[in-house]
Amino acid sequence: MFEVKWLWKNLEGNRARYILALCLSVIGSSLTIANPYLSQRIVDTFIAGDDAVQNLTGRRGLLIALCLGMIGFSLLRTGLGYVTMMQYERASQNMLYNVRIFLYNKIQGQDREYFDHNRTGDQMTRMTGDLEMVRHSLAWIVKTIIESLAVFLAAVSYFFYIDAALTWWLLLLAPPIFVTSYMFARRVRPMYIGLRERLSQLNSSTQENIAANRVVKAFAREEYEIEKFRERNANYQQANKAAAMVWLDYFPYLETFAQAFNVVLMIAGGILVMNDRITFGEFAAFSALIWAISNPMRNIGMIINDIQRFFASLTKVVEIYYAQPKIAGERKADAGKRYGGSIRFDHVTFKYDSATVLSDVSFTVHPGETVAIMGPTGAGKTTIVNLIPRFYDVAEGRVLIDGVDVRELDLGELRGNVGIATQDVLLFSDTIDGNVAFGDPELPEDDTVRYAKLAAADDFIRKMPEGYDTIIGERGVGLSGGQKQRLALARAMAVRRPILILDDTTSAVDLETEAHIQSSLNNLGALCTKIIIAQRTSTTAAADRIIILDGGRVIEEGTHAELLERRGYYYEVFMLQNEGIERQVAAHG
Ligand SMILES: Nc1ncnc2c1ncn2[C@@H]1O[C@H](COP(=O)(O)OP(=O)(O)OP(=O)(O)O)[C@@H](O)[C@H]1O
Ligand SMILES: [Mg+2]
């Protein structure tokens, strides 16, 4: 079976330990028949046998040996149990550790499309609960199954050794038990798959709500969110209850069958004793071991439940394990050579799933040039720049850097040549210094300050309680929108890559600060191709070229002056923005 193979593969390095644990389980469980055997000897020789009284005096040594044997076997079983448990725990914990690292790497290596389609809460469920369930199964469920089987087989063999007919009578109960269990398993399996799905939904909504708590507060939607959570929680609880209730449908039958073992033993065993076919001691041995047959039957329900949970979880874990990103490569930051920085879009068409977002986009950016991209919201500006470091791949056409299709470049090298400040600013809960130097942890402190100055961030950083060592909250809590943007800009500049992409990076800063940033961008030192997405004509005016995008198509392209002359979209935007300013000036003057 595929899943079992998967587990086996991941036990590498711990296989010997695991097999040892399995063997010890079998040995330990088989030893359960030792004591009933010894007590049978004691009963037959010293209590119920014909020469019991003589033996008590004459063969005292044997009695003592048998008693010591019973104590010895008990101690041996306890010791074995201890060692066995330790091996199971070690092997399964080691496996868990390895798989968890592997999965984490796997998730880190996924492309953007994967994160578009998979929710954080679900990923967290897989990395924690599901993985723990798999480990639990490996340590406890497999142990229970192996031990139940071993005890059962040992007891049955011993019973056959004592009396085959009586054993057959007892085993008559096995088929109905198996049929009932099978029916139970078939009914409960889909329920556990549903249960697992609801847990993931519950976790996803919890995670999203905690992450977006500020929004919830801003809209005073706590009640609504709590209600939504309550609903999901109730859903999960109901699914859990429903699964448990199914067991209750089958439980009475299985319990009755398990109890019936005692009844059969009493009647059939009693008759055999009366007919002198078996001794009292043998009957006692049957009686002492009957649990070894009935208990596994009782455990079947629990085992089936756990196995279903195990498969529901394992499927989810294996999904990550075998998820192949379409865009992948080694993540060697700063590896390889430095590109010249020319960028060419050659009849590029792009789709998210099936929605076409870019159609037949062509333009060229020469090394060292600054190109601005402008256009209405949703026009596809962010999408264009996402294609340069290959966050997504084109549907048709090509994106070329230094004349080479990005799909033919080494991914680590390609990304090592692009500095990007994304539209959606994400900072880490770390020091400001750590955030600016995120792309280059070796960055000297002087340089951190230099880039912060270039991004017009130095002033506000120095005013913070601990300057560059101030720790900012998750996602940059404690900073204003414009401050976050400036840190993101400093972070993007600090990696000194030949291609710098700024997606709406100055939208939240005032005009004066923006002018400062613009002059910084012109004086970055090393040759750097810049693509700047912006809405303000004050930002785009100085660019070598401006590309106007609308509905995924390039509708205008040229310098500031050329586009104004064309009297198209750019001209409209320019007039709109400057009319406003003129009116303001008039109002104040
Ligand atoms: N991950 C995604 N999956 C599916 N569709 C997407 C995804 N990202 C963006 N889109 C869609 O692609 C289109 C272009 O989005 P894009 O983010 O490129 O616009 P934009 O020009 O950057 O807009 P804005 O000025 O608001 O930032 C939009 O219609 C958007 O709904
Ligand atoms: Mg955008």
Tens digits of per-residue pLDDT, 61-93?
888 999 999 999 999 999 999 999 999 999 999
Rg (CA), the chain: 37
Q: Is the pLDDT of residue 214 over 90?
A: no
Task: Please tell me if the domain spanning 336-417+499-508+528-589 has the same topology as the one spanning 421-496.
Answer: yes
Closest C-alpha residue for ligand 1 atom 16: 380
What is the per-residue pLDDT across 131-142, written as a single tens digit (0 to 9) for each? 999 899 888 888
Q: Is the pLDDT of residue 491 over 90?
A: yes
Q: Per-domain residue ranges for the chain?
A: 2-321, 336-417+499-508+528-589, 421-496
> What percentage of the chain carries pLDDT values higher than 90?
31
Our answer on whether the CB atom of 488 is closer than 6 Å to any ligand 1 atom is no
Our answer on whether the CB atom of 382 is closer than 6 Å to any ligand 1 atom is yes
Query: Taking residues 237-256, what's their average pLDDT?
Result: 88
Closest C-alpha residue for ligand 1 atom 28: 378
**How far, in Å, CA of 83 to CA of 78, rounded?**
9
Distance 337 CA to ligand 2 centre (A): 30
Who has greater pLDDT, 49 or 246?
A: 246
Q: Pick the ligand that lies closest to the CA of residue 502.
A: 2
Closest C-alpha residue for ligand 1 atom 25: 377
Q: Which CATH entry fits the domain spanning 421-496: 3.40.30.10, 3.50.50.60, 2.40.30.10, 3.40.50.300?
A: 3.40.50.300
User: Structure tokens of 161?
Assistant: 């050794």
Our answer on whether the CB atom of 270 is closer than 6 Å to any ligand 1 atom is no
**How far, in Å, CA of 504 to CA of 511, rounded?**
14
SS3 content of the chain, % helix, strand, coil (to 5): 65, 10, 25
What is the per-residue pLDDT across 261-272, written as a single tens digit (0 to 9) for each? 889 889 988 898
Phi then psi for residue 355, to 5 deg, are: -80, 120
Mutate which of 352, 503, 504, 554 for ligand 1? The one with the most ligand atoms within 8 Å of its CB, which is 352
Distance 544 CA to ligand 2 centre (A): 21
Who has greater pLDDT, 318 or 50?
A: 318
> Which residues, 6 or more positions from 390, have their beta carbon under 8 angstroms from its beta carbon?
327, 399, 406, 407, 411, 414, 415
Taking the whole predicted model, whether its pTM rises above 0.85 is answered as no
Our answer on whether the CB atom of 535 is closer than 6 Å to any ligand 1 atom is no
Phi then psi for residue 555, to 5 deg, are: -105, -25
Instruction: Please state whether beta strands 396-401 and 343-352 pair in parallel, antiparallel, or not at all (unpaired).
Output: antiparallel
Mutate which of 110, 117, 381 for ligand 1? The one with the most ligand atoms within 8 Å of its CB, which is 381
Is residue 160 packed enough to be buried (19+ CB in 10 Å), middle (13-18) or exposed (0-12)? middle
Closest C-alpha residue for ligand 1 atom 31: 378
Question: What is the pLDDT, as a whole number, of residue 288?
Answer: 83
Closest C-alpha residue for ligand 1 atom 4: 352
Q: Is the pLDDT of residue 581 over 70?
A: no
Query: Taking residues 490-515, what's their average pLDDT?
Result: 88
Phi then psi for residue 323, to 5 deg, are: -70, 120
Query: Taking residues 174-199, what's their average pLDDT?
Result: 87
Our answer on whether the CB atom of 379 is closer than 6 Å to any ligand 1 atom is yes
Our answer on whether the CB atom of 320 is closer than 6 Å to any ligand 1 atom is no
Question: What is the pLDDT, as a whole number, of residue 398?
Answer: 94
Let me know: does 195 contact 243? Beta carbons within 8 Å.
Answer: yes
Q: Pick the ligand that lies closest to the CA of residue 535.
A: 1
Distance 56 CA to ligand 2 centre (A): 95
> Which residues, 6 or more positions from 264, have their beta carbon under 8 angstroms from its beta carbon?
169, 170, 172, 173
Question: What is the pLDDT, as a whole number, of residue 178?
Answer: 86
> How many Cβ atoms from other residues are within 10 Å of residue 363's Cβ?
17
Q: Is residue 331 very low, low, confident or very high in pLDDT (cuts 50, 70, 90)?
A: low
List the 343-352 sheet strands across, edge first.
Answer: 355-365, 343-352, 396-401, 404-405
Our answer on whether the CB atom of 383 is closer than 6 Å to any ligand 1 atom is yes
Our answer on whether the CB atom of 423 is closer than 6 Å to any ligand 1 atom is yes
Closest C-alpha residue for ligand 1 atom 17: 382
Q: Pick the ligand that lies closest to the CA of residue 383.
A: 1
CATH placement of domain 336-417+499-508+528-589 = 3.40.50.300
Q: Is the pLDDT of residue 501 over 90?
A: yes
Distance 540 CA to ligand 1 centre (A): 21
Closest C-alpha residue for ligand 1 atom 6: 352
Our answer on whether the CB atom of 358 is closer than 6 Å to any ligand 1 atom is no
User: Structure tokens of 555?
Assistant: 């509708």
Distance 208 CA to ligand 1 centre (A): 21
Mean pLDDT value across the chain: 88
User: Structure tokens of 142?
Assistant: 């497999």
Cα 382-538-491 angle, rounded to 5 deg: 50
What is the per-residue pLDDT across 157-167, written as a single tens digit (0 to 9) for each? 988 998 888 89
Q: What is the rounded end-to-end Cα distance, in angstroms, of the chain?
A: 82
CATH placement of domain 2-321 = 1.20.1560.10
Question: What is the pLDDT, as a whole number, of residue 357?
Answer: 94
Distance 379 CA to ligand 1 centre (A): 7
Element (H, E) at 532: strand 529-533
**How far, in Å, CA of 416 to CA of 220, rounded?**
43
Distance 510 CA to ligand 1 centre (A): 25
Distance 377 CA to ligand 2 centre (A): 7
Nearest Cα to Cα of residue 155 among 43, 40, 23, 257? 40
Closest C-alpha residue for ligand 1 atom 26: 377
Let me know: does 448 contact 494? Beta carbons within 8 Å.
Answer: yes
User: Structure tokens of 206?
Assistant: 């919890």
Is residue 434 packed enough to be buried (19+ CB in 10 Å), middle (13-18) or exposed (0-12)? middle
